[in-house]
């Protein structure tokens, strides 16, 4: 996923994750941020039937690091889709 920001730029970002419901997915997703010594500013998780939507907001994060985190999240089972957007 190519970044819309220069690699050295820190911007507020929102990770949006769409996945099948899995009891450990939220913990595994947040664990990725903990391994990077980062604490999200906001986390929202909504379950709708067999789907889980997670939104994670980070105040400042370098674009290249954000892209890496998004790729790792996308590789988690049962993630269906990850988007990375500027926080607004």
Provide the Cα torsion 9, 68, 82, 47; round to 10°: -100
Quick: pLDDT tens for 19-34: 999 999 999 999 999 9
Q: Which domains does the chain have, with CATH numbers?
A: 11-86 (3.30.70.260)
pTM given for the model: 0.86
Give me the phi and psi of 7, to 5 degrees please: -65, -20
Quick: pLDDT tens for 40-85: 999 999 999 999 999 999 988 888 899 999 999 999 999 999 999 9
Task: Measure the CA–CA gap between 67 and 58, rounded to whole angstroms.
Answer: 13
CA angle 74, 34, 12 (to 5 degrees): 70
């Amino acid at each position: 996923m190519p970044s819309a920001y220069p690699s050295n730029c820190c911007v507020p970002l929102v990770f949006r994750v769409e996945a099948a419901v899995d009891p450990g997915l939220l913990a595994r997703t947040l664990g990725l941020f903990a391994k990077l010594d980062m604490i999200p500013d906001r986390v929202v998780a909504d379950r709708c039937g067999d789907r889980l939507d997670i939104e994670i907001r980070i105040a400042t994060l370098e674009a290249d690091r954000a892209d890496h985190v998004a790729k790792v999240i996308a590789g988690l089972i049962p993630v269906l889709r990850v988007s990375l957007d500027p926080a607004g």
